[in-house]
Structure 1
Amino acid sequence: MQTLLVAPVFGFHHRFLRFSIRILLLMFMDFPSTFKFVTQASELGCGFLLLGYYSRLFNLLGLALIFFFCLRFLRSPFHKTDKSSDEKSRDENSREESLEDQVFDVASLRQLVKAERQRYNAACAEIEKEQGAAASAAEEAMAMILRLQSEKSAVEIQANQFRRVVEQRQEYDQEVMESLRWTVVQVESQKNILERQLGAYRERIRQFLEDQDEAAEMEIEAEIDQLQEQEQEQHIEEQEDEQEDEQEEQEEEQEEEQEEQKEEQKEEQEEKQEEEQEEKREEEQEEEREEQQKEERQEEEQQKEERQEEEQQEEEQQKEERQEQQKEEQQREEEEQEEEDQEEAAAIASVSDDADSSSGFLNFSVEIDDVNAVAACSQNPSPPHSPTP
């Protein structure tokens, strides 16, 4: 197949090269004249162009190329006959190989047909599932849309109500602001009037205070003299009181020292008595501790014995439970084996039925394919392609 496909491609490529070479030769033969025409009015007219050597060289090259092209053209029919005979032999070999491939591909085609049927059934089941899921999703989407529309309408109603309330509040606030502005203007006017009155009253008060200050200064000086005399008398009395207080404090300190000594003696005696009592208590506590330790040891021994008995009972129970679990597992395994045997038998029966039904269809389809392949081979020189599943 690859050789048959590659051969026409190379032939087409060879023809295209020939055609392109011919066109290039024709263009190359006319190149000197065109080059001279272009360089007539330019500054390049020197050297070979003035003497005419440049055009002669191009003409000689063109003649040589035409000579080789003619030789090539004369040899081409022989090569074509050889190539056509090779292509015919290749076509015959490919036809024989394709017939053998068709004979050997029947068994593989049957297997492919079975696999494709299974895939088709699985795809149909998946499509049905997807259709059901899509229908349920569409229903949920419609319910969601209806719910959102109802929520939207409720929100719009609330928004309209809120707008109305806000507009009413704005109107009320504007009225209140206007009334407050009017009251502020009135208060400012009253404030100015009161400030003027206050300035007049302050001037009157200053005049009245200046008259009273002179009389008050005389009275204050007399009071200051009296206060100085009283302070001197109080200072003398305070000194006397301080002396008396110092004497009383000394007497009290002596009495306190005596009392402290007596208290220290009493405390020493009490401490001795307390130490003796504490020693007795410690001895009693040690005896009690020893008794408690003995009792605790006895209780621990009893608890150990009870624990050992409980552990033995638990081990026996665990053994019984393990035996029961093993029995249940054995029963389950037996049931599973029976179910697997039944499923295998059912699968074998279904496979045999499918094989019987598909064998007739495959035989009929294989015969039709063979007839079509023979007809195609007789009409077309190229071999037919192998059927794809």
Structure 2
Amino acid sequence: MQTLGLVAPVLGFYHRFLRFFIRFILLMFMDIPSTFNFLTQLTELGCGFLLLGYVSRIFNILGLLLIFLSCLRFLRSPIGKPPREENLKEEIENNNNSSSGGSGSREENLEDEMFDVVSLRKMVKSERQRFNAACAEIEKERGAAASAAEEAMAMILRLQSEKSAVEIQATQFRRVVEQKQEYDLEVIESLQWTVEQVESQKNLLERQLGVLRERLRDFLNDHDIQQRVQEQDQEGEQDQEREQEKERDQEQEKERDQEQEKEQDHEQEKEQEKEQEKEQEKEREKEREKEQDEEREKEREEEREKEREKEQEKELEHEPEHEQGTASDVDLDLDLAVVDEDIERDEDADSGSGFLNFSVEYNDDLDAASSQNPSPTQTPQHL
């Protein structure tokens, strides 16, 4: 039905266009003889029957026949008929043939419509999926482009920072090199000046030696002069040997000092190892003392629990005397707390002799407490 609704206006438009075209052709054919006569009159050359003018009537008759035949063909052709009338006739014939066929066609039309709707929905879903996939790809490409741009910016910044650092280092190196060059030039100039001074002094001394030799020749012979020169050379060699011996002695002393330093370092390492061992032993002793203290505390707690159990048993046995017993127990607890504090102080002061002092003080305190507070078994006799 939808396809028919779309085809009907198209066919109507096509029918109107054909009518307009036929009218235009008719007008053109009606004007052919007049135009042909006009052309034959203007032409200077032509056949005899054209110049005489007998052909105009024949052309008019032929044009009318052609127009009539063309109209008949267009009217008989299926294009000239409107599509709506054909569709209506077909529907009427189908309805007259069979009602069952009509119901089947309606169901088929409905199924076609449903199929068209489902197909359109599927097409829409597929297009949406494609659109979403394209959007996801575009977003991925944008993310990749953004990440690439960020990486490029980070690389650019890193390269710029490295470039600036290299430039700073280059400037510093240039300054250092320039300073070294200046210092080297100053040293070279000073050395040149000293060399010039030494050469000048040498020249002066050589001149003085020449003068002195001439004076000596006046007083001494050449043989004496040579002997003195040899003696001077020997003295110089002896001085050199002495200097070499001194250098050897200094080297030996340096070697001895190095050996002594090595021995001292070795002794220091041994002392450090001994100190470390002592510290480890002290730590072990401290750990042992801590363990002993923990064991003592556990023993004290066990003794206290035992005493409490005994006291509870005695209280159960002597319920009427509970008040007096509670007072004595409170005093004992206070005395025990004081004794514990004293014991802890003694242990901090003397870790080695703490256990013995604790045992003695603990027994003495218990004896004093028992002497001050009589036992609950003696209370009835006293009363």
Higher relative contact order (CA 8 A, sep 6+): 1
Please, what TM-score do these two structures have when normalized by structure 2?
A: 0.28
**Structure having the higher Rg:** 2
